[in-house]
Amino acid sequence: MNFSIFRDNLQLLRQRYYYATWKADGTRYMMLITWDGCYVIDRNFCFQKVELRFPCKSTNKGIFEKTHHYTLLDGEMVIDIEPKTQKQERRYLIYDLIAINQVFIMERPFSERWIILENEVICGR
């Protein structure tokens, strides 16, 4: 649920658990990770291959045992400036995990999806 925090919306915050993050100034992308590559997908559904690899923490069987295959992330691409070098670095900030290794998990609570994301995607890198 997206909404601004105004006085009339405070009741909604009291009714359920919520998560908040800082507002990044980047471009929203879905990221599809497959055994043969990683792709970012923009809001116009244009795919662009990026040079990233996501090794699997858990062991699967067959050809996909070393890397994720059909894992879908939701996030934002930002450009950060390294404080020491002043060099611009492109970073993908992950907001949610939609599917992991061909298993759709959006029906699970966000807190559970976040734990899976940390354990199976982020820690593997």
Q: Which residues are catalytic?
A: 23
Tokens 């649920």 sit on residue: 1
- Please, is 49 exposed, middle or buried when counting C-beta atoms within 10 Å of its C-beta (0-12, 13-18, 19+)? exposed
* Cα distance between residue 37 and residue 62, in whole Å: 17
Name which of 103, 16, 12, 15 is nearest 58 in CA terms: 103
Going by C-beta distance under 8 Å and a sequence separation of 6 or more, which residues neighbour residue 57?
119, 120, 123, 124
